[in-house]
Amino acid sequence: KIVGVSRYCLDFMGKFMKRSYYIIPPSVERMPRIIDKNKYRAAFGFEKDQLLCIFVGGDAKRKGLDTAIDTVAKINNNKIKLLIVGPNKKPKINKNCKFFGRVDKETLEKLYSISDILFFPSRYEGFPTVIPEAMSYGVVPLVYDKKPFNEIARMKNSFLAYSQEEFVNILSSLIYNRGELIQKQKICRIE
């Protein structure tokens, strides 16, 4: 028997071996506590009304960090910020990005808690655990509409896009119109 972490992984493995397959998706911890979002936004130097997008990932190239930075640069609005967590090496960023690098668990919890969007334009994954992890904090994913991302992120709880242009359009509209974001945040939160 073979166990995979997503339908995408099982479909891929099925091309090479004919066996029984089972999916056991990875689990994430429940958010430990609700924190004062505005207090921590101020502590990190962000304004209350900014749209905060968090990128979390170690392998910057595969995870699409270049796409995330370029998308925010194209929007070119001070009301949006990209928080970059994970990579060891600081990438070339613009004024709308803030690089944190590797952080401890407590800092990551605070960064998730103050964020609105998980911007994760990864090129490929087996099962992106960062998506349910962020959702447990009420952070709405913005990902490509392809497997395996859309196995977790669906239209009712996420923003799905087929191209960078769609990422730009979605984020641009969310800067001033947060209604749909607020509805999706309520669905995302795992309690």
CB atoms within 10 A of CB 54: 26
Indicate the pTM of the whole model.
0.81
Q: Which of these, 164, 138, 141, lies nearest to 56 by C-alpha position? A: 141
pLDDT tens string 18-75: 666 655 555 555 555 566 777 789 889 999 899 999 999 887 777 889 999 999 999 9
pLDDT tens string 147-168: 666 666 666 788 888 899 999 9
Residue type for 110, please? Answer: K
Residue with tokens 């509805």: 183
CB-side exposure of 105: number of CA atoms within 13 Å? 4
pLDDT tens string 75-112: 989 999 999 998 888 889 999 999 999 999 889 989 99
Tell me how far apart the alpha carbons of residues 151 and 30 are, in angstroms, rounded to a whole number. 20
